[in-house]
Amino acid sequence: MTASPTSAPGSALPSTCEENWRYAPLRGLERLQWTPPAALTDDAIASARALLGDTEATGARWTFIDGHFAAALSSGPSPQASAAADATDSGADLAFARLNRSHAAVPVTLRIPADTTLDLELACVAQSVGHPAFIIEVGSGAKLRLVEQHLGAANALTNLWLQLRLAPGARVEHSRLLQPASGARHFETLQLRLDAGAELHLVQLTTGGAATRSTALVDLAGADATLRWHTAMLGAGQQAHDAYVRVTHDAPGARTEQAYRGIAADRSRIAFNGHMRVTSRARGANSDQTLRSLLAGPAAEANARPQLEIDTDDVRASHGATVGKLDADMLFYLLSRGIAPDAAESLLKWAFVSDVLAKLPDAALRARFETAIAPLLPGAEAARSLA
């Protein structure tokens, strides 16, 4: 069922009764306004400019406001729009993708020619309601360094759809910073496909807003495709963050390394569901998964769920999931060195997510991601420059 562009999504959305949506922040969505503004206003551009501030892109930058391309805040080649097949799959996993397709008529398409290199930043600013839609095709042997940042105004609503296809031998460094403003909601559906020998290194940091749900469906379709997926999630206040990542190893020698680090402070709820599928075609596949969450608030909630579904004998799969509290021995060690309790806790939380941030491709990017979480970790700021 496809929602009408002017109506509330209602029954088109999944419910928390469904397995992969159990912890998703779905309550009250049918009452939200889902129709994006028809065009960009000067005010929207001015406030987006202020929000983006002095963050400088090293290569081309495309800025989108509520899904509309903002040429005034962009540099490099202009994006192309092209008709794309709708997300026709009727499964619940693509419910938000269908909603996106029903609102964003034409996705932005980027085709990177074979054996070329591109450095691109996608800045998505949410002002009211947006359904940004992207199709990115990375040609054979091409290299893409993609930085994707989501930020915006309080109480905004974003429903992103991103399709990324890597031709044989393509390499992509994909750094994603999800940083919605207070009260804002961010939903997204990522559909990723890797052909033979392609490599995708993805690092994602989710923090802020009222609620986020990230659905990522990854298809390792070609032999020896390699996926490295590192996610950090920091919940505070009454935020709810939920992610479902399904990786299908569907060719011989497909490899995945996945690490998740989540911190739930205050009354926040965070969840990560890492679903690894290995089909009978994926002989010699390798899947390595560590999911760790930290409960850092008396009323916080954290769920970390590894799921393995294996249809071949010739596979090496390891997984581990833990939910714990700050280590009392580490904490006492820091206190015994004169460090104040708040700063010591911040420092340990900082250390906890540093596994993920260390995977970012360069120091400047790392500093930018660290700036996003610094307000949540008071007293640990000085650790940044030394990390």
Partner 1 sequence: MLEIKDLHASVGGRKVLDGISLTVPAGEVHAIMGPNGSGKSTLSYVLAGRPGYEVTGGSVLFRGQDLLALAPEERAQAGVFLGFQYPVEIPGVNNVYLLKAALNAARKHRGLPEVDAFEFLQLVRSKMKLMQMDEAFLSRGVNEGFSGGEKKRNEILQMLVLEPALALLDETDSGLDIDALKVVANGVNTLRAPDRSIVLVTHYQRLLDHIRPDRVHVLARGRILRSGGPELALELEARGYDWLLAEAAA
- Nearest by Cα to 203 from 163, 246, 152, 259: 259
- Nearest by Cα to 354 from 384, 316, 315: 384
Give SS3 for 87: coil
Sign of the four-CA dihedral 53, 57, 62, 64: negative
Smaller CB distance to partner 1: residue 78 or 332? 332
For the CB of residue 327, give the shortest distance to partner 1 in the complex, in Å: 8
Binding to partner 1 by residue 363, rule CB under 8 A? no
**How far apart are alpha carbons 254 and 282 in whole angstroms?**
7
Q: Please name the amino acid found at residue 387.
A: A
Q: The tokens 């996945």 sit on which residue?
A: 258
- Alpha carbon separation from 378 to 183, 325, 367, 383 (Å, rounded): 22, 18, 16, 11
- What is the bridge-based pairing of β-strands 108-112 and 80-81? antiparallel
For the CB of residue 348, give the shortest distance to partner 1 in the complex, in Å: 7
For the CB of residue 292, give the shortest distance to partner 1 in the complex, in Å: 12
**How far apart are alpha carbons 239 and 264 in whole angstroms?**
9
- Residue 118 · residue 59 · CB < 8 Å: yes
Smaller CB distance to partner 1: residue 32 or 340? 340
For the CB of residue 237, give the shortest distance to partner 1 in the complex, in Å: 24
Q: The tokens 């930085």 sit on which residue?
A: 147
Q: Which of 18, 354, 371, 381 binds partner 1 (CB under 8 A)?
A: 354
**How far apart are alpha carbons 334 and 345 in whole angstroms?**
9
Give SS3 for 156: coil
Smaller CB distance to partner 1: residue 50 or 382? 382
Binding to partner 1 by residue 229, rule CB under 8 A? no
Q: Please name the amino acid found at residue 236.
A: A
Give the x/- contact pattern for partner 1 in 281-320, rule: CB under 8 A. Answer: ----------------------------------------
For the CB of residue 343, give the shortest distance to partner 1 in the complex, in Å: 7
Q: Which of 42, 43, 54, 329 binds partner 1 (CB under 8 A)?
A: 329
Give the x/- contact pattern for partner 1 in 176-195, rule: CB under 8 A. Answer: --------------------
Smaller CB distance to partner 1: residue 233 or 282? 233
Contacting partner 1 within 365-384 (CB under 8 A):
382-383
Smaller CB distance to partner 1: residue 351 or 364? 351
Contacting partner 1 within 330-349 (CB under 8 A):
330, 332-341, 343-344, 347-348
Q: Which residues contact partner 1 by CB under 8 A?
A: 327-330, 332-341, 343-344, 347-348, 350-352, 354-355, 382-383, 386-387
